[in-house]
Amino acid sequence: MNLMHLKYAVEIAETNSMTKAAERLYTAQPNISRAIRELENTLGVQIFRRTSKGIYPTPQGEIFLSRARKILAQVEEVEDMFRDGKKKENQFSISVPRASYIAEAFLEFIKKLPRDESVEIYYKETNAMRAISNILNADYRMGILRYQTIYDRNFKDMLDDKELMGEFICEFVPVLLMSEHNPLALKEEISPDDLTNFIELSHPDPYVPSLSPVTTRKNETLSEAYRRVFIFERGSQMDILSKHPETFMWVSPIPERLLKMHGLVMRECPSVKRRYRDMLIRKRDYKLTELDRLFIDELMRAKREIIK
């Protein structure tokens, strides 16, 4: 058994796939398959069970993976302690959903960074699964999860299982974002049927623990639009929305500054009753730094001003 074997096992558990694990770790799938067989033979237990839907840990495998994650985390701590003699106190890292109010908070946070100290900042926009994985496997300090409130138990159970803690940030009902030149912008209230002939922009990677991607994506659909464009980052969505008046997107409330900058408007859809929740997550034993607290202060300020 070696550390690489542990990394292979943890990555398979995160992705439920040897192929995806191999892609993430930049290695060949046969190497991972062979390593897992050797690991299971050495331990005398079956770590994973193979099904038609993917690879999942056995009960004994869950116990092993819990210990493996702790070992890898401890190794990372030792490496961090001595790597280039760097101090980690002035590092900040967070994975967040693609949300403008969070980006606005991050901008204000950057403005307040100390001028006379060396700092390293890592800010990644991604989905909930990657935000969790980044904390567990990529040395990120914090993350923000966004999910429908009906899935609150799914996420809280998963956080408990991963030994993570979550703090409530806000809840909101999604609004429609579109160009001020979109014909629908003339209406104060819009129904899902009004959207049928327009083009919906959407993020293609929603995630809910224990639900398949297909089911999750289906449950996230709010409109009857038959034309959809899936994008991964906010820069493109703002450009498309502002330059193509037939497009729209479901979003959390947007800062007025960005609406004016891009010539966009927000409109409500009263028939949509879904509520979304944003949660700040971190490891249970992680102690917040001054930089962390500074960002959280700005995040809560932006939430009060924009989400309301």
Same domain, 65 and 96: no
Domain CATH code at residue 7: 1.10.10.10
Same domain, 56 and 187: no
- Measure the CA dihedral 64/66/71/77, to 10°: 170
- Cα torsion 27, 33, 39, 42: sign: negative
**Where is the domain boundary, 26, 51, 81?**
81
Domain CATH code at residue 96: 3.40.190.10
Minimal CA–CA distance to 170: which of 235, 260, 105, 262? 105
Same domain, 73 and 91: no
Which domain covers residue 217, as residue numbers? 174-267
**Where is the domain boundary, 62, 81, 100?**
81
Residues of the chain under the 50 pLDDT cut: 85
Same domain, 282 and 224: no
* Position 297, amino acid: D
Same domain, 111 and 233: no
pLDDT of 233:
74
Report how many domains make up the chain.
3
Minimal CA–CA distance to 205: which of 220, 186, 192? 220
pTM (predicted TM-score): 0.67
* Position 90, amino acid: N
Query: Can you list the alpha helix ranges (DSSP code H) found in 83-208?
Result: 100-111, 128-137, 152-161
pLDDT of 244:
96
Give the contacts of 28 (CB within 8 A, at least 6 positions apart).
22
